[in-house]
Amino acid sequence: MAQLLHLGLSFPAQPQQISASSSKTLKLVKSTHGSKISVSTIRKGSANGLPKTQKLNLEVSPHRAVSAVRLMRIEFGGAFAGLLNEKGKGSGKNEMAYVERTLGFRTRELNDQDLRLVTDIVGGTIRWKRYLDHLISSISHDKDISSMEPLLLQILRVGFYEIVKLDMPHYAVVDENVRLAKVALRPGAGNMVNGILRKLAVLKENESLPLPKVEGDDRVQARALATLHSHPVWMVRRWTRYLGQEEAIKLMIWNNSEPSFSLRANHARGFSGADLVTQLNALKVPHKPSPHLDEFVRVKTGLQTVIQAGLLRKGLCSVQDESAGLVVSVADPHPGEVIVDCCAAPGGKTLYMASFLCGQGMVYAVDVNRGRLRILKEAAKTHQVDGVITTIHADLRELPDSKPLKCNKVLLDAPCSGLGVLSKRADLRWNRKLEDMEELKKLQDELLDAASKLVNPGGVLIYSTCSIDPEENDERVDAFLARHPDFHIDAVDRFVPPDFVTDRGFYFSNPVKHSLDGSFAARLVRGS
């Protein structure tokens, strides 16, 4: 599977969970800032034998405290913005442990409304980070806000996002974020937040936010557009060059919109798209059937309801974009076939291909990451396709020499920039750099060469990415064909709707045109 190379730091070690059964009754006391604080006393088994305190602040806004801490974890700890467990909480039972370790206190547990706000604020703040930082810098008259205290900066970003993008009542936003800054940092930080947010509220009300104008030469315009639409400058310049400025702006607007998701019904368990619709109706989750694939249903909201209902846990369905499903359509798996999935983990396409084998044949799932392969194996059991999936832990580039494995169908869903999935991966735009593109193209060429050795004469190699960049897509295919003249292009028009077929016979989903993730696939047939 196309693995997005995450360039963040490692996760910090998880803090120890505090057991409610081992703590004495909470007792209310007063903090120096006037906030109500609850303190639990001794926690059994503490390493040094001293009491373990747990402070509970009942006046700080829970969703703002959690949002600020999650933003800290994403920016400095390498966490993913969309990290969710089955209950929809970013760290499960450890959510408040992260808050306590970062802020020095806990808040009350998040309710469903809090969770929705956290998801919205964290995702939105990351998407609009460049735009928000421009406003913070302009209003605070601090040209280098990177030197600002990290927690203070996150609190300001949250407040700016709430006022500018969520249109929350400014008096509530100011009051709550000031209180958070005072308790988590110090009174002076709260005073600073108060002054900056109040000035922002006045500027917004007067429609006079300090924003750049799109004028001047190409470089100056690219910088202005990068600020207005909150993307790295190099992406704006690249898309303007390939797409033109108007289409580049449309793409950035799509990337900044609230992402929608698709659910794939698992027909390997006898669960059809119609069955999935019935379940969604019962759960009162708004949905729309896919116009392209019978097993897929689109949902804009209510994903957490689906998760909590256990449909994913039971393997009845999975979250998978239609663009990925259409790549499987290009692979066209049939019962009895042997298929090699070269970069398989975490296995979305592997599972979908295996469901078409109807218990006959095999998908060899190859991946360099042993942990992700374990996840794939467990998912295969849940989806009841483990009988037709064999996992192989190996670097594909070394596999052809170390483990002879040839077949008539090979899928290489290559590691890529992920520029087609930026609406869902809000943090990826800030982790990806221009220099990464050259490294990725080199890796894609090496993986294509290795994958080609697994293809029997007359067999097919499917090369796919979740990128919209021609240098990762068409150009990689051209470079491969120049090195391997025994392969030729097989048009995909027999496998996907014509609207997804390019002039050269490749599959391509355009986020703006198709309202799906951007993806690409080419069928390359080896001569007999």
Q: Looking at the predicted structure, is the pLDDT value of residue 183 above 90?
A: yes
Which pLDDT band holds residue 395 (cuts at 50, 70, 90)?
Answer: very high
Going by the annotation, the residues of the binding site for S-adenosyl-L-methionine are 343-349, 367, 395, 413
**How far from the centroid of its chain's Cα atoms is residue 149's Cα?**
27
> Which one, of 158, 163, 153, 137, lies nearest residue 185 by Cα?
153
What pLDDT was estimated at residue 304?
84
Residue-level pLDDT at 405: 84
User: How far is residue 180's CA from residue 182's CA, in Å, rounded to a whole number?
Assistant: 6
Find out whether the peptide bond into 286 is cis, omega within 30 degrees of 0.
Answer: no
Instruction: Please tell me the predicted confidence (pLDDT) of residue 33.
Output: 37
Residue 15: is its pLDDT beyond 90?
no
d(CA 444, CA 115) in angstroms, rounded, equals 39
In angstroms, rounded to a whole number, what is the distance separating the alpha carbons of residues 186 and 178?
10
Q: Is the pLDDT of residue 152 over 90?
A: yes
464: pLDDT strictly greater than 50:
yes
Tell me what pLDDT residue 93 has: 56
Binding residues: 343-349, 367, 395, 413
Residue that wins the pLDDT comparison between 90 and 68? 68
Tell me what the pLDDT averaged over the chain comes to: 88
Q: Give whichever of 94-103, 330-339, 395-404 has the largest mean pLDDT.
A: 330-339
Q: What is the pLDDT of residues 309-343, one digit of tens each?
A: 999 999 999 999 999 999 999 999 999 999 999 99
Whole-number pLDDT of residue 4: 36
Structure confidence at residue 2 (pLDDT): 44
67/126 Cα distance (integer angstroms): 11
Residue 8 has pLDDT above 80, yes or no: no
Q: Is the pLDDT assigned to residue 47 strictly greater than 50?
A: no
pLDDT in tens, 193-204: 999 999 999 999
Lowest mean pLDDT among 69-78, 237-246, 412-421, 519-528: 69-78
pTM (two decimals): 0.86
Q: What is the mean pLDDT of residues 424-434?
A: 93
By C-alpha distance, which of 342, 286, 350, 340 is closest to 318? 350
Side chain identity, residue 129: K
Please provide the DSSP assignment of 155-224 as one string: HHHHHHHHHHTS---HHHHHHHHHHHHHHHT-HHHHHHHHHHHHHHHHHHHTT------S-SSHHHHHHH
Q: Is the pLDDT of residue 143 over 70?
A: yes
pLDDT confidence of residue 50: 34
pLDDT band at 81 (very low <50, low <70, confident <90, very high): low
Residue 87 has pLDDT above 50, yes or no: no
Lowest mean pLDDT among 11-20, 192-201, 363-372, 462-471: 11-20
Cβ(91)–Cβ(57) below 8 Å: no
Residue 295 buriedness (CB in 10 A; 0-12 / 13-18 / 19+): buried
Neighbours of 485 (CB within 10 A): 8
The 3-state DSSP class for residue 30 equals strand
Of 339 and 303, the one with more pLDDT: 339
Nearest residue to 89 (alpha-carbon basis) of 382, 263, 275, 308:
308
> Which residues lie closer than 8 Å to 367 by C-beta, 6 or more apart?
343, 344, 345, 373, 376, 391, 392, 393, 394
Going by pLDDT thresholds of 50, 70 and 90, the confidence category of residue 98 is confident
Sheet holding 54-57, edge to edge: 27-30, 36-40, 54-57
**How far is Cα 184 from Cα 156, in angstroms, rounded to an integer?**
13
Distances (CA, A) of 461 to 120, 407, 420, 480: 40, 10, 22, 11
What is the pLDDT at residue 348?
Answer: 96
Q: Assess whether pLDDT exceeds 90 at residue 84.
A: no
With bands split at pLDDT 50, 70 and 90, how would you rate the model's confidence at 522? very high
User: pLDDT band at residue 78, thresholds of 50, 70 and 90?
Assistant: low
Supply the pLDDT for residue 54: 63
Point out the residues that are catalytic.
Answer: 466
User: pLDDT digit string (tens) for 347-367?
Assistant: 999 999 999 999 999 999 999
Q: What is the mean pLDDT of residues 65-82?
A: 83
Q: Smallest Cα–Cα separation from 73: which of 148, 184, 129, 154?
A: 154
User: Is residue 32 pLDDT above 90, yes or no?
Assistant: no
Region 249-272: what's the mean pLDDT? Answer: 96
- The pLDDT value given to residue 51: 38
Give the pLDDT confidence score for residue 402 in this predicted structure.
62
